[in-house]
Amino acid sequence: MKLKSIMTNSFGILFSRVTGLFRDILMASALGTSIYSDMFFIAFKLPNLFRRIFAEGAFTQSFMPSFIASKHKGVFAVSIFLRFIIFLIIMSIIVSFFPEVLTKALAVGWSEETIKMASPLTAINFWYLDLVFIITFLATLLQYKEHFATTALSTALLNLSMITALWIYMKDSPENIAYAVSFSVLVGGLLQILAHIYTINKLNLHKLLIGGWKYRKVKNIDDEKKRFNTLFIPAIWGNSTAQINAFIDTLLASFLVSGSISYLFYANRIFQLPLALFAIATATALFPSISKAIKNGKEKEAYENLDKAFWILTFALGFAMVGGIVLAEPIIWLLFERGNFTEASSIETVGVLTMYMIGLVPFGLAKLFSLFLYASHRQAQAAKIATYSLIVNIVSSLILMKIMGVQGLALAGSIGGWVLFIFTVKEVGSQRFINIVKSIKAIYFILSMATFWIILSWINDILALN
């Protein structure tokens, strides 16, 4: 198992998430949980969803196997790039002229006046989709060379751009702050692209792209593009369940009390930190080597990596889950309760975070097991499993939001995560999973989680007394 690659990726993600956390702290102080924060989060929701789906594996998991198998790698890469970027530019132009339509689709429960106010922000943020695709495409080429640091660290450039805008416009009106942060998103995206271009050039991958452009009319590339087409849509669907769940949460939250969208956003930001730091970092680092191993018939080597990664992830995510549940209140208080983020906002966000944390372990492990579905071209099976999870999430959301409000939406997402995990393990091989957990490590895990829970509960009680 490539521990060096995982650690490099984890460090980059940690740095990125720390800057993202600082960004969210400034955002909470500047806008609180007001209608203006809801407007920005709605405008940024689709680009951010697209970023998570693409940047956290969906594009890579369909492109990488096809790219590895391609006999004309440069031509194949350029042809796929041109197809996507032309489509995205056309879509961005359309949204720029008709932003109200998309805004209304993202926030069905909002009034016409609020939609009109938020629409310009939607038009600005939508252009980040184009930038995200370019970043992801270049990142995938770097992953093929098993270089992960640039991509992991460059996300911090987006956060630093937004932090700068918040810092400069902190004392302006909420409307001006929302506009400034929206434009800073585009600046951050451009900085990410420049960072990737620099590394692409340093690793001489630019020669591959130049050659691909020069010979892009090669006729026998059509079969390879068709193979990619059969993998891409299922890969996007199968890899995006968590993000689509969050998207549905936001949509349904627009029908609840003002601030509900913001409660979900801030709680989900904390939930995403351990998920990215451990699960996504591990999956990203292992996928190229697993894809190459399966292509070369070395399945034993690939599954040995699974066994080792499983327990590392299980312990890491388990500790994070317990910590997130037991210490939810002091975490939210420490990070966000200042400025316009009040004590009432903290109480609501704590409940949402607790419900999200219930799904941390299954979401993380599902991402690990799904690597073997994508590497072996079983994207259709992954998509079917994602559909089961999504249906369960939607039904649970509609039921639980009436009983528990915004907390019910978070709990429904966690339930969907467990469904995703169970069916993914079944598809990869239930017996293989049983063999992994039939270990003394399982007993160590249970005992360590129980001990950790008791210790944190004791610490929490002391903090409460003080």
Q: What is the pLDDT of residue 185?
A: 92
Question: Has residue 353 got a pLDDT over 90?
Answer: yes
Where does the pLDDT of residue 173 fall: very low under 50, low under 70, confident under 90, or very high at 90 and above?
confident
Of 6-15, 427-436, 454-463, the range with the lowest mean pLDDT is 6-15
Question: Has residue 258 got a pLDDT over 70?
Answer: yes
> How far, CA to CA in Å, does 129 sit from each of 43, 54, 387?
12, 10, 24
Instruction: Report the pLDDT averaged over residues 195-213.
Output: 87
Q: What is the pLDDT of residue 241?
A: 67
CA angle 126, 360, 382 (to 5 degrees): 70
Look-up of token digits 């693409």:
54
Q: What is the pLDDT of residue 378?
A: 81
Q: What is the pLDDT of residue 424?
A: 92
Instruction: Report the pLDDT averaged over residues 336-346.
Output: 79
Q: What is the pLDDT of residue 58?
A: 67
Instruction: Report the pLDDT averaged over residues 214-222.
Output: 65
Question: Has residue 268 got a pLDDT over 70?
Answer: yes
What are the tokens at 5? Answer: 């690659």
Question: Has residue 184 got a pLDDT over 80?
Answer: yes
Q: What is the pLDDT of residue 324?
A: 92
Q: What is the pLDDT of residue 197?
A: 94
Q: What is the pLDDT of residue 453?
A: 93
**336 touches 345 (CB < 8 A):** yes
Q: Identify the CA nearest to 229 among candidates 55, 386, 73, 380.
A: 380
Instruction: Report the pLDDT averaged over residues 59-71.
Output: 76
Instruction: Report the pLDDT averaged over residues 395-418.
Output: 92
Q: What is the pLDDT of residue 396?
A: 94
Contacts of 125 (CB under 8 A, 6+ apart): 43, 44, 46, 47, 182, 185
CA 289 to chain centre: 22
pLDDT digits (tens, 9 = 90+) for 113-122: 888 888 888 8
Where does the pLDDT of residue 165 fall: very low under 50, low under 70, confident under 90, or very high at 90 and above?
very high
Look-up of token digits 């995982």:
6
What are the tokens at 249? Answer: 């949460």
Question: Has residue 55 got a pLDDT over 60?
Answer: no
Q: What is the pLDDT of residue 220?
A: 64
Sign of the Cα torsion 344, 347, 106, 394 reads negative
Q: Identify the CA nearest to 276 among candidates 189, 151, 183, 188.
A: 151
CA distance 376 to 370: 10
> How far, CA to CA in Å, does 67 sit from each of 57, 130, 301, 354, 375?
15, 21, 21, 41, 12
Kindly tell me the burial class for residue 146, based on how many C-beta atoms sit within 10 Å of its own C-beta (0-12, 13-18, 19 or more): middle
Instruction: Report the pLDDT averaged over residues 408-421.
Output: 92
Q: What is the pLDDT of residue 68?
A: 78
Q: What is the pLDDT of residue 392?
A: 94
CA distance 254 to 353: 18
Of 28-42, 111-125, 140-154, the range with the lowest mean pLDDT is 28-42
CA distance 312 to 242: 21
Q: What is the pLDDT of residue 57?
A: 61
Of 30-44, 100-114, 223-237, the range with the lowest mean pLDDT is 223-237
**65 touches 291 (CB < 8 A):** yes
What are the tokens at 403? Answer: 């009983």
Instruction: Report the pLDDT averaged over residues 373-388.
Output: 84
Where does the pLDDT of residue 52 fall: very low under 50, low under 70, confident under 90, or very high at 90 and above?
low
Length of the chain: 466
Q: What is the pLDDT of residue 200?
A: 92
Q: Fill in the amino acid letter for 11.
A: F
Where does the pLDDT of residue 401 fall: very low under 50, low under 70, confident under 90, or very high at 90 and above?
very high
Of 13-22, 268-277, 287-296, the range with the lowest mean pLDDT is 287-296
State the chain's maximal CA–CA distance in angstroms. Answer: 73
Mean pLDDT of the chain: 83
Question: Has residue 45 got a pLDDT over 80?
Answer: no
CA distance 462 to 445: 26
- Three-state SS string across the chain, please? CCHHHHHHHHHHHHHHHHHHHHHHHHHHHHHCCCHHHHHHHHHHHHHHHHHHHHHCCHHHHHHHHHHHHCCCHHHHHHHHHHHHHHHHHHHHHHHHHCHHHHHHHHCCCCCHHHHHHHHHHHHHHHCHHHHHHHHHHHHHHHHHCCCCHHHHHHHHHHHHHHHHHHHHHCCCCHHHHHHHHHHHHHHHHHHHHHHHHHHHHHCCCHHHHHHHHHCCCCHHHHHHHHHHHHHHHHHHHHHCHHHHHHHHHHHHHCCCCCCHHHHHHHHHHHHHHHHHHHHHHHHHHHHHHHHHHHHCCCHHHHHHHHHHHHHHHHHHHHHHHHHHHHCHHHHHHHHHCCCCCCHHHHHHHHHHHHHHHCCHHHHHHHHHHHHHHHHCCCHHHHHHHHHHHHHHHHHHHHHHHHHHCHHHHHHHHHHHHHHHHHHHHHHHHHHHHHHHHCCHHHHHHHHHHHHHHHHHHHHHHHHHHC
